[in-house]
């Protein structure tokens, strides 16, 4: 056994880390790896049952101070949901940066703060959004990915005031959904990015479902969590030849001593079509 990995998943909004990497995080936590999370924005402005939904149907929204207080209150509720979800997946630490999700941009402050956290937590592997997702400009996920890339670069050196030594990350896996999902915007016509790594999450899909069920403020609890897992993780699973999977786009090419062929690839090549279809056909039981 090699030493435990240190993995950090960084998302723009509270639900992203669970949506895109919940099963992968549960897997690694189960095998004794360190798993931590960072959520860059509070997410209350665009993804909240009260702020983004109720306000939509009012004739007038509350005055500034009252609205701000409401956003703070809802942010706390969302953070609590995310903490609960992390516990179910075995995630040890959850760091909230609390940025307003009004306009997320790459700032010196956000990059430095994350770089300091990287020197402190010292992850080997980072999971985060693809920095060219969508238009790569107004897309909060893309900006989050860009903040992470700047922070990785900065963390590789010293910063006055931070006593932690420089830290380098071994690999970054970008969330496949969004960058390599079904294209639905003109921005997605370029690129040609594809999911090069699938993580089979079938054995922990119930944990991921329980985690998504915690995200009630975002409308995930219940029917949507199930629909989302069937359509998204189920589609990734179909592409990866398993029941449920999460897809990733690795940043760096890998160097091996010998040609890398997985046990799965060998087993799959030796299985019949019906055996392969049977493996993909598992569904979360409906209770």
The residue number with the shortest CB distance to Zn ion is 13
Residue 278 tokens read as 């049977």
Return the number of the residue (16 or 213) whose C-beta is nearest Zn ion: 16
Q: How far is the CB of 16 from Zn ion (least distance, A)?
A: 4
Q: How far is the CB of 240 from Zn ion (least distance, A)?
A: 23
Residue 213 tokens read as 């069920």
Write the CA distances from 223 to 137, 144, 250, integer angstroms.
32, 28, 31
Return the number of the residue (6 or 13) whose C-beta is nearest Zn ion: 13
19's CB contacts (< 8 A; 6+ apart) are 177, 212, 228, 232
Q: How far is the CB of 104 from Zn ion (least distance, A)?
A: 10
Q: Are 248 and 176 in contact (CB under 8 A)?
A: yes
Return the number of the residue (12 or 154) whose C-beta is nearest Zn ion: 12
Q: How far is the CB of 225 from Zn ion (least distance, A)?
A: 15
Q: How far is the CB of 144 from Zn ion (least distance, A)?
A: 8
Return the number of the residue (16 or 200) whose C-beta is nearest Zn ion: 16
73's CB contacts (< 8 A; 6+ apart) are none
Q: How far is the CB of 265 from Zn ion (least distance, A)?
A: 32
* Closest to 153 in 3D by CA, of 195, 189, 118, 200: 118
Return the number of the residue (16 or 81) whose C-beta is nearest Zn ion: 16
Return the number of the residue (175 or 198) whose C-beta is nearest Zn ion: 175
Residue 70 tokens read as 């409401």
Site size toward Zn ion (CB under 5 A) is: 3
Classified as helix, coil or strand, 192 is coil
| Alpha-helical regions (H) of the chain | 16-30, 64-89, 108-121, 140-155, 176-179, 205-213, 223-228, 234-240, 263-270, 273-280
Maximal C-alpha separation, the chain: 65
Return the number of the residue (155 or 211) whose C-beta is nearest Zn ion: 211
Q: How far is the CB of 146 from Zn ion (least distance, A)?
A: 14
DSSP-assigned beta bridge partners for residue 10: 38, 128
Return the number of the residue (103 or 170) whose C-beta is nearest Zn ion: 103
Binding to Zn ion by residue 48, rule CB under 5 A?
no
Enumerate residues 237-256 that contact Zn ion by CB under 5 A. Answer: none
Enumerate residues 1-30 that contact Zn ion by CB under 5 A. Answer: 12-13, 16
Residue window 144-183: x/- pattern of binding to Zn ion, with contact defined by CB under 5 A: ----------------------------------------
Residue 255 tokens read as 């160097």
CA 153 to chain centre: 20
Question: b or e along 213-237 (b: 16 or more beta carbons within 10 Å of the residue's beta carbon)?
Answer: bbbbbbbbeeeebbebbeebbbbbb
Residues that bind Zn ion (CB under 5 A): 12-13, 16
């Amino acid at each position: 056994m090699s030493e435990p990995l240190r993995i950090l998943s960084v998302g723009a909004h509270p639900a992203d880390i669970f949506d895109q990497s919940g099963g992968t995080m549960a897997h690694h936590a189960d095998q004794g790896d360190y798993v931590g999370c960072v959520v860059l924005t509070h997410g209350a402005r665009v993804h909240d049952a009260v702020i983004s939904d109720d306000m939509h149907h009012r004739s007038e929204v509350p005055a500034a101070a009252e609205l701000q207080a409401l956003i703070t209150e809802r942010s706390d509720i969302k953070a609590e949901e995310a903490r609960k979800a992390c516990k179910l997946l075995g995630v040890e630490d959850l760091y909230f940066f609390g940025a307003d999700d009004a306009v997320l941009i790459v700032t010196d402050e956000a990059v430095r703060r994350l770089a300091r956290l990287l020197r402190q937590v010292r992850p080997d592997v980072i999971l985060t959004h693809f920095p060219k997702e969508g238009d790569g400009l107004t897309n909060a996920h893309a900006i989050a990915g860009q903040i992470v890339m700047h922070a990785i670069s900065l963390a590789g050196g010293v910063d006055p005031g931070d006593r932690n030594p420089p830290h380098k990350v071994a690999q970054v896996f970008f969330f496949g959904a969004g960058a390599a999902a079904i294209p639905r915007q003109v921005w997605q016509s370029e690129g040609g990015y594809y999911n090069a790594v699938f993580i089979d999450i079938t054995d922990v899909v119930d944990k991921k479902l329980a985690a998504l069920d915690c995200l009630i403020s975002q409308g995930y609890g219940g029917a949507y969590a199930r629909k989302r897992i069937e359509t998204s993780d189920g589609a990734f699973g179909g592409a990866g030849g398993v029941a449920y999977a999460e897809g990733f786009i690795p940043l760096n090419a890998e160097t091996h001593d010998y040609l890398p062929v997985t046990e799965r690839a060998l087993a799959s090549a030796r299985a019949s079509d019906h055996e392969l279809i049977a493996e993909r056909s598992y569904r979360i039981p409906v209770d």
